[in-house]
Structure 1
Amino acid sequence: MTITPELLLNAYAAGVFPMSEGRDDPDLFWVDPKLRGIIPLDGFHISRSLARRIKRGGYSVSINGNYRGVMEACAERSETWINAEILALYTKLHEIGYGHSLEIWSEDGELIGGVYGLALGTAYFGESMFSRRTDASKLALAWLVDHLRRAGFTLFDTQFLTPHLASLGAIEIPRAEYHARLSNALENVADIYSVPLEDDPSAVVQRNTQTS
């Protein structure tokens, strides 16, 4: 079966997503986990050390500044489920307005961290993230959670729960509960561009601390 961008959007709306066995495997398979990882948008955890790192600065943040670059960076690890077809499909979804990334840049303009995913309704489906500097992926998630909440999103799907995500407040919920939350999230629409990206690190820390 040929997977098109339209089919992919329908799949996400039904609660499933594709993966491959590896970078060089041309085939994709559908996944609908029994336990789904999510980051509650009002429950992101910023530790004292991360708060200090956020406030210290020395980096810049962008939305959709280099979607393809974030994907390619996520696929650089030795084992990855991001193959050539996934790169092509999600690049197309970005081009037609559904794929969104958040980037962390060093002071000299190097892409050092980021996260990419898709948006449907008021749901954001986080696909993968990467870090080339200490805490860069945590910075990306902190900014993204803050931005999604301010833009009216209600669900941040991480697919699976990892120890890294759990340390930031992510939780697991049963499949049925996830599908119910997804159904509610698809009843409305949020626009990632409806609010400007926050430029004050202290504000990001304060809002996440107030809601966590």
Structure 2
Amino acid sequence: MHEPIWLAPYDVLAFPDARQAMREPDGLLAAGANLSVITLKSAYEQGIFPWFEGNQPILWWSPSVRALLPTKAVHVSKTMQKLIQQERFTVTVDQAFAAVVAACAKSTDTRTSTWITEDMRVAYCRLHAHGMAHSVEVWDGKGQLCGGLYGVFVKNLFCGESMFSQVANASKLALIWLGRFLAKHGCCYIDCQLPTAHLTRMGAKNVPRETLLSILATMQPNTRLINAAWAT
């Protein structure tokens, strides 16, 4: 395929097969549709996610290689072990979803633009209200939010969207906590979407898109976690 498939601006119950995604740019599948709860749920259940900047139409992606992190294999370095033992931070879940998304959207020294537009923030907060999107928050000793992550849970898969740190290792702590929480509740994988060296160090494995699609096709819903508020 040489160009994305254009979708009408309505709810999408069934996306084009992710295997039709373009080779260049890798993984671009479709453009258009909307960011409704129905459309986003359908996308994530089919191994597809939105990723675009404010001056672009909604773009839908399913890269040929995915970073898949087994929840029981999240790497905990000696530094992180010491940090956890020191109990300098408090970790919560679903206590400040909008604040985590807003923090992830802020520009940094290494990232001057963001794909988390206002429309995206509204869409994911709507997913959160429906029990489909979740956040992990890291709080410092003064009760200030200093790190965290958020993502979407479908079937029995956590699809990570973004993370942030305002102090060293806060986002790593959030990811370690998430892995343990999900493993405890019967979820085996975190889809980290795009491979990075950092995610590899944390235990993520680069797998072909087909592997993720096969997992999703046979995955049964986790009734303990799906469409529900999470609590520590």
- 1:51-90 equivalent positions in 2, closer than 5 A: 51-77=81-107, 78-90=112-124
- 1:23-38 equivalent positions in 2, closer than 5 A: 24-25=54-55, 27-38=57-68
Q: CA deviation at 1:38?
A: 1.2
Give the aligned partner of residue 4 of structure 2. Answer: none
Give the aligned partner of residue 15 of structure 1. Answer: 47
Quote the sequence identity (%): 32
Q: CA deviation at 1:157?
A: 0.5
Q: Deviations over 1:41-99 (max 9, x none)?
A: 12111111111111111111111011111111111022221111111111100001101
SS in 2 for 1:33: coil
CA contact (8 A) 1:150 1:195 kept: no
Q: Deviations over 1:106-136 (max 9, x none)?
A: 1111110101011111111110000000000
Mapped to 2, the partners of 1:61 and 1:189 lie a distance apart of: 23
Of 60, 70, 74, which aligns to 1:44?
Answer: 74
CA contact (8 A) 1:26 1:84 kept: no
Aligned-residue Cα RMSD (Å) equals 1.6
CA contact (8 A) 2:149 2:162 kept: yes
Aligned structure 1 segments of 4 or more residues deviating by more than 3 angstroms: 192-196
Q: Which has the larger radius of gyration?
A: 2
Q: Where does the alignment leave 5 or more consecutive residues of structure 1 unmatched?
A: 198-212
Of 37, 56, 60, which aligns to 1:5?
Answer: 37
Higher relative contact order (CA 8 A, sep 6+): 1
Mapped to 1, the partners of 2:69 and 2:146 lie a distance apart of: 22
Q: Does residue 151 of structure 1 match 2:181?
A: no
Mapped to 1, the partners of 2:196 and 2:156 lie a distance apart of: 23
Mapped to 2, the partners of 1:96 and 1:26 lie a distance apart of: 27
CA contact (8 A) 2:147 2:174 kept: yes
SS in 2 for 1:39: strand
Q: Does residue 136 of structure 1 match 2:166?
A: no
TM-score by length of 1: 0.86
Q: CA deviation at 1:184?
A: 2.7
Of 193, 205, 209, which aligns to 1:171?
Answer: 205
Q: Does residue 191 of structure 1 match 2:224?
A: yes
Identify, as 1 or 2, the structure richer in helix. 1
User: Structure 1 residues 58, 36: closer, same or farther in 2, change over 3 A?
Assistant: same
Give the aligned partner of residue 125 of structure 2. Answer: 91
